[in-house]
Amino acid sequence: MIRRISLMVLAAAGFGCAAALFPDAAHADALTSLEAPFKAALESGSFGMALALVFAAGLATSLTPCVYPMIVITVSVFGAQQATSRLQAAKLSTAFVLGMATLFTPLGVGAALTGDVFGAQLSNPWVVVPLSLFFIVLATSMFGAFDLDLPSGLKNRLATVGGVGVRGAFLLGLVNALIAAPCTGPVVGFLLTWVGTTQNVVFGALSFFVYALGLGMLFWLVGTFSMSLPKSGRWLEWIKSVFGIVMLVAALYFLRDMIPGLMGVPTRTGSFLLGSLAVFVVGIALGAIHLSYHGTSVATRARKSMGVAMAVAGIAGGVGYLEALPAGAQLAWMHDFQAAKARAQAEGKPLLVDFGASWCGACGELERHTFSDDRVVREGQRFIPVKVDLSPDKDTPEKRALLASYEHRGLPLVVLHHGSGDEAARVTSFVPAEEFLELMKGVN
């Protein structure tokens, strides 16, 4: 009985952690509140205050849905396996944070100077595929695959990638910087524009480095001061299986745009959610968590593999349900900006321009919680709404140039124009339906 309860607790933790890994559970409103004082500090030359606000923005970003689950995952990978003392845990945590800063700093400065969209790296197959393979390697490490009879040199290399030692923690930090990029919010968007305009590379690099330190602070605190997970025993095997499943879901999530037809499968219906939950429960019952690959028969390993596959499919279905648009009213989006602009001018109607992408967490939140609201849809009938999609396979130089013309380097970006064509308001992060509705009512 106790064993069954324990398995259900671990399964629920894995389901919750994986669901939280993807945007829906919370909003980054704290980032929006930091935008105005950050702008004021830069414009007044108060660079010390600006850096303090950048650090605070990094800390706020670490609490957004696509970042904070990585805290649990990274601690489970390098903290539970290698940290034998508080000093060693601090060393591993420091290496992790420096890994984030090492990638974040040149990534941010490069995006500012080249006009690239920060976070768009997750639409590049040369980034997405290695990132997904990295999660698969971590997952197989969690399942104990490296205990198979592989050459010792390869096993050592894989073990290092899996998080053993300072190098593994540093590499995890590099990966986490990429994952965090789409959640950076309006403060980083303004910083990108400021660096690109002023060409102040030194302060820009320092700002992104400080931002990465703020982003990694919670990781450092948890990795250094939290109670370490057990170093051996069945509980550790179960915990590692949970995180292995979560990592496989993460790999599938990042590859979703590259798998034809996958994005159209999930629906926002009760039957789809119940079906996903049923598949997940069957996978757990088959042995996704409690069975082991170590010293077992071929039949047992096959049963665990089937259980893992079903658990991953069930969780992925649940995530897809959360990301699917709710049934009902939607804005009558156009997808050709020039045609929409011409129509708005001809009819004397206000124009609503939405820049978004599938890799942008806040963009999805706007779709699900704001643009689908009945009140927003009704008010939107007097607008000409156009969507500029920067998702993989839909991103074009023309769309990037259009985004650059609004002097903004990040996503989301929603711009409302008066019927005269003048800009009335813009949104650079998630806002609830009530707040967006007020903005719409102020446009004529």
Tokens of 248: 């496989």
Tokens of 338: 């020039």
Q: Which residues contact 1 (CB under 8 A, 6 or more apart)?
A: none
Q: What is the pTM of this model?
A: 0.63
Kindly give the residue spans of alpha helices, DSSP state H, lying in 62-117.
69-74, 80-82, 86-114
Answer whether 187's CB lies under 8 Å from 54's CB. Answer: yes
d(CA 150, CA 140): 13
CATH superfamily, domain 337-441, is Glutaredoxin (3.40.30.10)
Taking 50 as the pLDDT cut, the residues of the chain under it are: 1-28, 80, 147-151, 154-155, 158-163, 227
How does pLDDT run across 10-41, given as a tens digit for each residue?
Answer: 444 444 444 444 444 344 455 556 667 877 88
Crossing angle of helices 298-323 and 270-286, rounded to 10°: 160
How does pLDDT run across 347-390, given as a tens digit for each residue?
Answer: 999 999 999 888 787 788 888 889 989 999 999 999 999 999 98
Residue spans of the domains in the chain: they are 18-259, 263-324, 337-441
Predicted pLDDT at 87:
78
Predicted pLDDT at 115:
61
d(CA 91, CA 53): 26
Q: Which residues contact 261 (CB under 8 A, 6 or more apart)?
A: none
Predicted pLDDT at 251:
83
Predicted pLDDT at 290:
87
d(CA 379, CA 364): 20
Predicted pLDDT at 146:
54
Answer whether 178's CB lies under 8 Å from 86's CB. Answer: no
